[in-house]
Structure 1
Amino acid sequence: MEIWIVILVIAAIFTAIMVYLIINTPIFTVQEQQAVIIERLGKFNRVLEPGMHFMWPFIERKRRFTQGGIEVDFVDQRERTVDLPAQTVITRDKVQLEVDSIAYYQIAEPEKSVYGVDDVIGAVNQLIRTVLRDVIGDTELEQLLSGREKINQRLKEQVSNASGDWGISIRRVELQAVTPPASYAEAMRKVSEAELTRRAAITEAEGKKDAAILEAEGEAEKINRVYKAIHDGNPNEELLRIKYLEALEKIADGNATKVFMPFPTNPGSGSGPDFSFNQAIGMAAGFDAYASGPQAPTPVPPPQQQASQTEDRTTPIVKPENEQHSGQTRPKKVVRRVVRRVPKKSSGSPEANKS
C-alpha cells in the first residue's frame, strides 16, 4: 500500500513537471530579415534564421544586446543608413570645411555583430566620422571638389577594413555636401571659370588642328589625282605647247603695261623653257621653227586635200593698237602672222616634188 502511494506521488510530480515544461517551453517565431542568437549555459550555441523555433527551458536563452542605444534580443539584418551630421574638417592645404556625409551598411554575420563590438550602430557612426577626418585631412581642396568619387571610394575601403571583425558589410559611404568658408567661394568660382576657359581653348585648338590636317590631306589628294590624270592621259609635246600658248594669251589680255616673258627673246634650240616666242607660235602652227637655228622653217606635210594651187593660209594674232590705260600709253603689241604653205598636189615621185 505504501509503495503504491509513493509511486502515485512520483507520477504526479513528474506529470506536474511535464505540464510545466509544456506550458513554459519557449516557442517563438523569428521574422524575415532578423536573426536570434541562442546561448546554452551562457555559451554561444546557434543562430536562428527566420521561421518557428523553440529552445530548452532553464539551459537556453536568447542573447540580449544593445543596438543603437536600445536593448534588443534579435539582430536586424536589413540595410541601414547612418546619416552623419555636418562636422568641421581641415584639408591638407589648411582649408577648413563643413562636411556632411552618409553611409549605408548591412549586418552580414549576426554572431560577430553581437560579440565583436558593443552597439554596432554607434561604433559604425564613430568609425565613419574618424575615417572621414583622416581622408579629408590627407586631401587638398581642389582634389576634394573635383574628385569626389575617388574620395567616396577611399572612405568605403577604409571603413570596410576597420570594421572587418564586426560582421557588417559597408555598401557605400558618400559625401553629401562640402561647404567651404565664404572667403573661398569667389576664389573657387574664378578657378572653375579658368578651368572651363582652358578646356574650351584646348577643344578649339584641337578642332583647328584637325581641320588643317583634313584640308592638307584633301589638297594632297587633289594634287595626286591631277598628277595621275595627266599621266594617265599621256600628254604629248604638241598639247603642252598649245596649253603654253593659251597661258600666254591670258597674260597678254591683262592690264599690265609690261609683261616679263618666261623664256628668252632670241630664238634658241630645243624645247621647254629655252624655246622662243617665235618657236612656240611656229610649233603650234605646224612648223618645227628654229629647231636648229634661224634657218627657214620646214613645213609639216598636211593631210591630203583637193587643191590646184598653193594657198596662203594665215592665222592672225590680233592685238589692239595703242590703248590708254591709267593715263599712260601702252606700247603696241607685236603682231605676227604665221604662214603655212600648202604645196600643190602632184602625182609625181617624191624626188620630183622635192625639186
Structure 2
Amino acid sequence: MNIEDFLLNFVGNNIVFLLLAALIVVAILTGVRIVPQSQKFVVERFGKLRSVLGPGINLIVPFFDKVAHRISILERQLPTNKQDAITSDNVLVQVDTSVFYRIIEPEKTVYRIRDIDAAIATTVAGIVRSEIGTLELDEVQSNRAQLIIRIQQSLEKIVDDWGIEVTRAEILDVNLDEATRAAMLQQLNAERARRAQVTEAEGLKRSVELQADAELYAAEQAAKARRVQADAEAYATSVVAQAIEDNGLEAAQYQVALKQVEALTEVGKGNGKQTVLLPSAVLDSFGDAFGLLKGRS
C-alpha cells in the first residue's frame, strides 16, 4: 500500500472527525474578538443589536453574532465651519467655528444618526446664529469666552441622544464685511479724537486749578506776613504806651526831643560851607529839646 492509498483510507474513515475539528477551529476564530483600546465593536444577532464590545478579548456566539460596526472612540475634530450671523444691533458677521467630540455610546451613534459630522455642523450653525442674535457686536468681540461656553452647553443638550460627548467648542474668528469695517474704523478714530480732547481739557483744568492754588497760597502767606507785621507794630505801640505809663509823658517828650537834636546835627554836617534854612517850628522844637535836656540834667 502506497502513501496515497493510506491517506485516502484515513480521510475516508475519519472525515467526520476532520469536519468537526475544522468546525471547532472556525467557531473559535469567529467567536473570539480582540477589540483595540481605541475602538468599540457593535455586535448584532440576526440584524438586531446584541451588545457593545469594549477593549480587550471578548466572546460572541459563532454563526449567530457578528460585528456589524467598528467605532473609533478617539476624539475627533470637525472641519472649520463658516456661517453668517446677525447681531442684535443688525451687524452681519461671519463666524469660524470648530468642534471637538468623541463617541461614548456607539449603539446610539450607529442607530440614531446617519452622518454624525454633518449633523453636528448643522446644529452648531443654528446655535451660533441663535446666540449671536442676542448680543451686540461689541459683546461678541469682548465676551467670546462666555459665548463659547454657551454654545458648548447648548450643543451638549442636543447631541446627548446621539451618544457623543462634546469635549470642546471654539470660535476661531469673527469677520466683518468691508462696509462694517470702514464704519468701525471711523468710529474708532472719532473715539480716539474725543479721548484726546478730553485729556487736553482735563490737563488745562488741572493747570488752572494748580494756578489758583498757587495764588491762594501766595495770598495766604501775604496775609500771614501782614498779620505778623501788625502784631509787631501793636507790640511796639504797647511797649511805648507802657513806657509812657511807667515814666510819664516827659520821658517820651525827652526821647522825641533827643531824636530831633540828632537829626539837626546830621543836617548840619558837610564838607564845605553851606547854609541850612530851618523853619521856625524846628527851632522851637530845638529849644524845647534843650529845655528838656537841661531839666533832666
- Fold match by TM threshold 0.5: yes
Pick the structure with greater CA Rg.
2
Match of 2:43 among 33, 38, 41: 38
Amino acid of the structure 2 residue aligned with 1:77: I
Q: Measured at CA, do residues 51 and 195 of structure 1 come closer, stay the same or move farther in structure 2, by a change above 3 Å?
A: farther
Report the counterpart of residue 160 of structure 2 in structure 1. 164
- Give the number of the structure with larger relative contact order, counting CA–CA contacts within 8 Å between residues 6 or more apart: 2
State whether residues 95 and 173 of structure 2, in contact with CA within 8 Å, keep that contact through their aligned partners in structure 1: yes
Q: How far has the Cα of 1:128 moved from its partner?
A: 1.2
Tell me, in whole angstroms, the C-alpha distance in 2 between the residues paired with 1:139 and 1:178: 13
Tell me, in whole angstroms, the C-alpha distance in 2 between the residues paired with 1:41 and 1:261: 120
Compute the TM-score of the two structures, normalised by the length of structure 1: 0.50
Q: After superposition, what is the alpha-carbon deviation per residue over 1:229-276, rounded to whole angstroms, capped at 9, x for unaligned?
A: xxxxxxxxxxxxxxxxxx98xx7xxxxxxx9952596xxxxxxxxx53
Tell me, in whole angstroms, the C-alpha distance in 2 between the residues paired with 1:51 and 1:134: 44
Q: How far has the Cα of 1:105 moved from its partner?
A: 1.1
Q: In the alignment, does 2:233 pair up with 1:296?
A: no
Q: How far has the Cα of 1:156 moved from its partner?
A: 0.8
Q: After superposition, what is the alpha-carbon deviation per residue over 1:12-67, rounded to whole angstroms, capped at 9, x for unaligned?
A: 5475245224225324432221111122344333322222334222210112xxxx
State whether residues 105 and 169 of structure 1, in contact with CA within 8 Å, keep that contact through their aligned partners in structure 2: yes
Q: Measured at CA, do residues 163 and 80 of structure 1 come closer, stay the same or move farther in structure 2, by a change above 3 Å?
A: same
Q: How far has the Cα of 1:96 moved from its partner?
A: 2.0
Report the counterpart of residue 278 of structure 1 in structure 2. 237
Report the counterpart of residue 183 of structure 1 in structure 2. 179
Q: Measured at CA, do residues 47 and 294 of structure 1 come closer, stay the same or move farther in structure 2, by a change above 3 Å?
A: farther
Tell me, in whole angstroms, the C-alpha distance in 2 between the residues paired with 1:197 and 1:21: 88
Q: How far has the Cα of 1:116 moved from its partner?
A: 3.4
Task: Show structure 1 runs of 5+ residues with no match.
Answer: 1-8, 64-72, 213-246, 252-258, 266-274, 283-288, 298-320, 322-355
Identity within the alignment, %: 26
The alignment of Structure 1 onto Structure 2 pairs a total of residues equal to 216
Q: How far has the Cα of 1:188 moved from its partner?
A: 1.6
Q: Measured at CA, do residues 14 and 55 of structure 1 come closer, stay the same or move farther in structure 2, by a change above 3 Å?
A: farther
Q: After superposition, what is the alpha-carbon deviation per residue over 1:126-158, rounded to whole angstroms, capped at 9, x for unaligned?
A: 211221222223322222222222221111111
Q: How far has the Cα of 1:278 moved from its partner?
A: 3.4
Question: What are the within-5 Å matches in structure 2 for residues 2-41 of structure 1?
Answer: 13=16, 16-24=19-27, 25-26=29-30, 27-41=32-46
Larger helix proportion of the pair: 2
Amino acid of the structure 2 residue aligned with 1:178: V
Q: How far has the Cα of 1:101 moved from its partner?
A: 1.2
CA RMSD, aligned part only?
Answer: 4.0
Report the counterpart of residue 344 of structure 1 in structure 2. none
Q: Residue 129 of structure 2: SS of its match in structure 1?
A: helix
Report the counterpart of residue 307 of structure 1 in structure 2. none
Q: Residue 53 of structure 1: SS of its match in structure 2?
A: strand
Report the counterpart of residue 134 of structure 1 in structure 2. 130
